[in-house]
Chains A and B, each alone.
Chain A
Amino acid sequence: GIQVEQSPPDLILQEGANSTLRCNFSDSVNNLQWFHQNPWGQLINLFYIPSGTKQNGRLSATTVATERYSLLYISSSQTTDSGVYFCAVGGGADGLTFGKGTHLIIQP
């Protein structure tokens, strides 16, 4: 099956810093989603981005499908950005395949 690798596994930043999270995947995909799992365990949709670039406030994402990677950018980090960020690909009858996530801690 398809493999999804996320980096870095852990990231600790000061409030106000910028960060880039990476997701590599092993095969072509027609669906890629970024999620934020908050400390309460809720999984929040950030982006549906199988290709191209999208922006939502301080967050943006870019997927280069031909090179099999996606990047999530967080600018001017806030403590509420803390949590685990997951990349997931695939879907349909096989469900989404998730990476192991990037655990982000934003310190005040």
Chain B
Amino acid sequence: GAGVSQSPSNKVTEKGKDVELRCDPISGHTALYWYRQRLGQGLEFLIYFQGNSAPDKSGLPSDRFSAERTGESVSTLTIQRTQQEDSAVYLCASWPGLWNQPQHFGDGTRLSIL
């Protein structure tokens, strides 16, 4: 597609359940990012993927969070044993890896933990 695609757009789940969020980047973009936006706040950087390099996971909020990406395609962000504080919008962005080009964001997944 023309833009960054995220699914699902909304997810409501019970505390303790696992959730998986998906991001399809713009074709040809080598870099992919995950961000979290809590209600009324700015975006918080979580993790970055570039090509086949191993990502730096130090920005993930806890060990319940994990993220994977296969090559330069789809990425998934998984949250295990969800807690109410995980409620937020999770946004994905892709970037062509060129410093004169911006990051492009998807519409996000709105996650609500009951």
Q: How far is the CA of A45 from the CA of B105 in the complex (A)?
A: 8
Is A31 part of the binding interface, using a Cβ–Cβ cutoff of 8 Å? yes
A96 to chain B, nearest CB (A): 6
**Chain B contacts of A94 at CB under 8 A?**
45, 48
Q: Which residues of B contact A33 (CB under 8 A)?
A: 102-103
Determine the interface band of chain B, counting residues with CB < 8 A from chain A.
20 to 34
Q: Is the CB of A41 within 8 A of B103?
A: no
Cβ of A95 to closest chain B Cβ, rounded Å: 3
Interchain CB contact under 8 A, B42 and A100: yes
B42 and A95 form a contact (CB under 8 A): no
Interface residues of B in 90-114 (CB under 8 A from A): 91, 93, 95, 99-105, 107-108, 110
Does B59 have its Cβ within 8 Å of any Cβ on chain A? yes
Range, interface on chain A = 20 to 34
> Does chain B have a CB within 8 A of A83?
no
Would A95 and B99 count as touching, CB distance under 8 A? Answer: no
CB-CB contacts of A51-79 with B at 8 A, as 1s and 0s? 00000000000000000000000000000
**Main SS at interface, chain B:** strand
- Indicate whether A97 sits within 8 Å of B102 (C-beta atoms), given known contacts A41-B108, A41-B110, A43-B91: no
**Across the interface, which residues of A come within 8 angstroms of B50, CB to CB?**
93
Task: Point out residues on A near B: beta carbons under 8 Å.
Answer: 30-31, 33, 35, 41-43, 45, 48, 86, 88, 91-101
Chain B interface (Cβ < 8 Å from any Cβ of A): 33, 35, 41-46, 48, 50, 56, 59, 89, 91, 93, 95, 99-105, 107-108, 110
Known: A31-B102, A94-B48. 15 other contacts (CB 8 A): A30-B99, A41-B107, A42-B107, A43-B43, A48-B102, A91-B95, A91-B99, A92-B48, A92-B99, A95-B35, A95-B46, A96-B33, A98-B43, A99-B42, A101-B42
Q: List 28 A-B contacts (CB under 8 A).
A: A31-B99, A31-B102, A33-B102, A35-B105, A41-B89, A41-B110, A42-B107, A43-B43, A43-B105, A45-B102, A48-B100, A48-B102, A86-B42, A91-B95, A91-B103, A92-B99, A93-B48, A93-B56, A95-B33, A95-B35, A95-B48, A96-B33, A96-B35, A96-B45, A96-B103, A98-B42, A98-B43, A98-B44
